[in-house]
Structure 1
Amino acid sequence: MEYAYIIAGFAVSFIVGMTGVGGGSLMTPLLLWMGVTPATAVGTDLLYAAITKSSGVVAHQRNRNIDWRITGWLALGSVPAAAITVVTLHFLHADTKFVNLIIKLSLGIALLLTAAALVFKKALLALAQRHAADWLNLPQRKLNAATCVVGVVLGVIVTLSSIGAGALGTLALFLLYPLLQTNRLVGTEIAHAVPLTLVAGLGHAGLGNIDWVLLGTLLIGSIPGIYLGSQLTGRIPDKVLRPALATMLVVVGVTLVKPAFAALL
């Protein structure tokens, strides 16, 4: 089974490197399919993301692609929200079945939102560009407050599902800062994702939701996977990749949401 996890780490990192889609939206459902419990899959993937994205922060900072002011406002909302979500899970931890249902439902919803972000990305970006002037006229304090609120939403979603720091976070940033260069937008979101996934992951570790052997084997496969995937960026047309990935995420999302929602009712 350890070899299967290494292959999983390689495959997910390869796709992430090639497409830029957040690893959580691929890794967590894959771990569930491989028999890992929802809580352990989410917790392990959060620390996996924190470790793998740290190298991205170094690279983006070297190229001055990070807006630390925006990162700070996002983290001001997301890190406390992640901590509060973990504390809430702690109080619910005795009811393992209920916690796993909540996580599966959150995971399914996050997958559907990510799929929507992939499908409607161009339309949303065009909308943001049309209303760029309106955002630019906002007082800085209101823009900071909006950024902080986005951080709160991301903090809750990411802590419960390990998904959202990539596709959803980047799209939200573009809607708030439509004139921000793409490389700085991506670098800023990666810089924000590290403290968020680290706090959420350590919180899950405190709840016993981390499989340390699984984490190590995933990391072994991820290093060559992300490198090789990056070399193939742009080789497969975006109009083919995005619909295919979105369809896969919708199928998995619906598969998770329907039984979890029915069980909660």
Structure 2
Amino acid sequence: MQIYLPIAELPINALLILAMGGAVGFLSGMFGVGGGFLMTPLLIFLGIPPAVAVGTQSTQVVASSVTGALAHWRRGTIDFKMGGVLLAGGIVGSVFGIFLFRLLKEIGQIDLTISVVYVVFLSIIGAMMMAESLRAMIAARRGDAPATGQGGHHSWIHGLPFKMRFRRSKLYISVIPPVLIGFFVGMLSAIMGVGGGFIIIPAMIYLLRMPTMMVIGTSLFQIVFVTAITGVMHAVENQAVDAMLALLLVVGAVVGAQYGVRTAARLRGEHLRALLAGIVLLMGMRLGWDLVTTPPDLYSVVDVAPHS
């Protein structure tokens, strides 16, 4: 069933978009990520302009994250206090990212920037998560104490000022690292069209030392608000949100996220991290391949309207 996307300016198979939205929504509920790190490259592979893919993807991230966050709220696995601190930094970061996105678009470098940033971050984060999760699984088979948890030594973090107690996560740390993490993730959300789960989840597990299951729910809570703000700003500032494409993605994501939460409850934390790492690495390699291979169309014609 073909439909025409007015902002992306091309026809697309509606059933394919619904299926993609459902699959990414499933991953969102399962891993606590917004799914943008996967959906944005998939949309680009289908021929959607990168700027439109980034802007529209924000709406899908909101939908899948809302349903996933509600499910985790019912399970009691959201640290709202930590989520609020992350959100404060995320809002500032998303505003900064939107203006940076607009600048790159005006100078004609946004498509290349999006692809390069994806390759770099997906490759680095995926490799780090895979290495750690494999070590954790090997240690578990040997009966050794897990390498991750609350007992890591991060004296430089514990020495920072403005400490706050997060009772749900059993932490007493400075608010500076969560605010900075939120800022960075908010900026990436604006530039890459992602919720930032593939960044914020490893950061909360390995840097802040939060429990894995508490991290997933808290990540989704923060993603909901940051991506909602990002989506609105993309629509207003950059006119990069295709409503028809967004609707199809949202419908699929809402259904898929519920099944993802149920599946996550049956898996161990290190297994969840290994699966997420594998998906991240695959997407990074796929985008990297596209950067170095010859494109099917060597030339493109773009009609640039003069600024009034």
Per the normalisation by structure 2, the TM-score is 0.71
Q: Report the Cα offset of residue 119 of structure 1.
A: 0.9
Indicate the structure whose relative CO is greater, using CA pairs within 8 Å and at least 6 residues apart: 1
Q: What is the letter of the counterpart of residue 106 of structure 1?
A: V
Task: Tell me if structure 2 keeps the 8 A contact 1:78–1:154.
Answer: yes
Extract unaligned runs of 5+ from structure 2. Answer: 1-12, 137-145, 164-173, 294-308
Q: What is the letter of the counterpart of residue 130 of structure 2?
A: V
Query: 2:229 matched to which residue of 1?
Result: 199
Looking at CA atoms only, which structure, 1 or 2, has the larger radius of gyration? 2
Indicate the structure with greater helix content. Answer: 1
Task: Tell me if structure 1 keeps the 8 A contact 2:195–2:227.
Answer: no
**Counterpart mapping for 1:240-255 below 5 A:** 241=275, 244-255=278-289
Alignment counterpart, residue 60 of structure 1, candidates 72, 78, 94: 72
**Residues 88 and 177 (structure 1), Cα distance of their counterparts in 2 relative to 1, 3 Å cut:** closer
Q: Report the Cα offset of residue 13 of structure 1.
A: 2.5
Query: 2:9 matched to which residue of 1?
Result: none
**Residues 91 and 16 (structure 1), Cα distance of their counterparts in 2 relative to 1, 3 Å cut:** closer
Q: What is the letter of the counterpart of residue 107 of structure 1?
A: Y
CA distance in 2, matches of 1:150, 1:244: 23
Task: Tell me if structure 1 keeps the 8 A contact 2:34–2:65.
Answer: no
Query: 2:61 matched to which residue of 1?
Result: 49
The size of the alignment, in residue pairs, is 257
Query: 1:213 matched to which residue of 2?
Result: 244
Alignment counterpart, residue 200 of structure 2, candidates 163, 169, 178: 169
**Counterpart mapping for 1:72-91 below 5 A:** 72-91=84-103
Q: What is the letter of the counterpart of residue 46 of structure 1?
A: S
Task: Tell me if structure 2 keeps the 8 A contact 1:74–1:147.
Answer: yes
Q: Report the Cα offset of residue 118 of structure 1.
A: 3.2
**Residues 132 and 56 (structure 1), Cα distance of their counterparts in 2 relative to 1, 3 Å cut:** farther
CA distance in 1, matches of 2:213, 2:148: 20
Extract unaligned runs of 5+ from structure 1. Answer: 260-265
**Residues 230 and 120 (structure 1), Cα distance of their counterparts in 2 relative to 1, 3 Å cut:** same
| Identity score, percent | 25
Q: What is the letter of the counterpart of residue 176 of structure 2?
A: A
Does the residue aligned with 2:78 lie in a helix, a strand or coil? coil
Task: Tell me if structure 2 keeps the 8 A contact 1:6–1:218.
Answer: yes
CA distance in 2, matches of 1:145, 1:169: 14
- Per mean C-alpha deviation after superposition, the further-off stretch among 115-124 and 232-241 is 232-241
Cα root mean square deviation, aligned: 3.1
**Residues 242 and 221 (structure 1), Cα distance of their counterparts in 2 relative to 1, 3 Å cut:** closer
